[in-house]
Amino acid sequence: MQKQISSWRKELSIITETKTGSDNGKLNRKKRKIYKKYRVTNTREVAQLTETLKQKVQAKVQRIRSMKKGKPSIVRIRCFSFHFIYFQSMDPYRITKSIWVWK
User: Domain limits of the chain?
Assistant: 2-70
| Dihedrals phi, psi of 40, to nearest 5 degrees | -95, 135
Confidence (pLDDT) at 103:
46
Rounded Cα distance, 97 and 43, in Å: 68
The gap from C-alpha 57 to its chain's centroid, in whole angstroms, comes to 8
Model confidence pLDDT, tens digit, residues 93-102:
554 444 444 4
Ranges of the chain whose pLDDT falls below 70 = 70-103
Confidence (pLDDT) at 57:
93
Confidence (pLDDT) at 21:
77
Confidence (pLDDT) at 95:
47
Confidence (pLDDT) at 37:
93
Of 62, 64, 42, 44, nearest to 54 by C-alpha is 62
